[in-house]
Homo-oligomer: A and B are copies of this chain.
Amino acid sequence: MTEAEPGGPDPARTRGEDLAERTRGGERRALARLLTEVEDRSRAAESALRILYPLAGAAHLVGVTGAPGAGKSTLVAALVGEARKAGRAVAVLAIDPSSPITGGAILGDRVRMQAYAGDSDVFIRSMASRGHVGGLATSTVAAAAVLDAAGFPLVFIETVGTGQSEVEVAAIADTTLVVQAPEMGDEVQAIKAGLLEVADIVVVNKADRPGADRAASHLRSMLTVGAQHDRAMCDRPRPKRPEVLLASGATGQGIPEVLASLDRHEAKRRAAGSGEGADGTRLARAEAQVWGILSERLRGRVREPERATETEAILRAVADHELDPYAAADRLLEAFTRR
């Protein structure tokens, strides 16, 4: 859009445009291939996204997070089944911190999803961070936009861990569902509090197990106390007051209610419109995505051949404690604007 192209068409760009076209046309292999390009942050992905992004915006993006062992994958599989009963197409993005040692996917129970292997209206995909530090949110938003433009009206974004970046990834969804097992220990109970801040809906999973009702009441009272605390202590009231539901991914108990709650949350968002103040999540998502791209562009710029030596020398001086990092940042900022 902004770059000149000396000497004929750019092959990466052509490939991206081709993948975008075929993805829009419903070709699942092209979709899979394009998501790999998105993961790799290739130039083909960029040219495809420039076409597909304006076509996206219709899908409901549901973030699913929670401590390991809470039963997220089982719950998502059950929700996919429930949506399929109503004929809805569904995509699942499983955010997966891959490892060169294990060689990739660590989610053993993703296997349950294989029930949908022959169903072209269900698309399941693991996304790895591939060492793009801090940029997982950018890739995830891009992948969700691709699935959205490919015609999936419902996209689950499932994260593995409960670290800061996983919480961020879950929080870029339209609706964030936090999954909680009833018998978690104290430490995890506490960690959960970090998750509750981003939750629109909390599901106490494994509702058939003893203690599930008590866990749900405990959560509801924690959330009430939290809201009171916020009203008393904070400048502005807490925007979210999550609903707490009991369900079981394994037995199917409560699953229609969870899907109905997701749909209600989305309907409310849409009714609020896109005016000033409304829909802060979509604005935050846009910002995260644009900022991720911008950071990459800027990193690229200081690494350009004519600046790389200067940049390297500045960073080396900071590493050797000869230059303070603020002065270094100011020098690099000056190098950006000098062009």
Contacts and interface: CB of A to CB of B under 8 A. Distances in A.
A308 interface: no
A318 B286 contact: yes
B187 A106 contact: yes
Interface stretch (A203-211, A222-230, A262-270): A222-230
A31 to B, nearest CB: 18
Contact of A229 (B100, B166, B320, B333): B100
A115 interface: no
A142 to B, nearest CB: 8
A102 B194 CA distance: 8
Interface in A291-339: 291, 293-295, 297-299, 314-316, 318-330, 332-333, 336-337, 339
Interface string A283-295: 1011101110111
A190 interface: yes
Given A101-B196, A321-B56, A290 B163 contact: no
B166 A319 contact: no
Contacts of A282: 319-320
A100 B286 contact: no
A46 interface: yes
Nearest to A274: B320
Given A286-B319, A319-B283, A106 B191 contact: yes
Contact of A325 (B53, B164, B327, B337): B53
Nearest to A230: B100
A328 B196 CA distance: 32
A46 to B, nearest CB: 6
Interface string A140-167: 0010000000000000000011111111
Interface of A: 1-2, 46, 49-50, 53-57, 68-69, 97-103, 106, 108, 129, 133-134, 136, 142, 160-168, 185-188, 190-191, 193-194, 196-197, 222-223, 225-226, 229-230, 233-234, 238, 274, 279, 282-283, 285-287, 289-291, 293-295, 297-299, 314-316, 318-330, 332-333, 336-337, 339
Given A106-B190, A108-B190, A285-B319, 10 more contacts: A2-B327, A53-B324, A54-B321, A100-B233, A100-B234, A102-B193, A283-B319, A290-B325, A294-B332, A337-B339
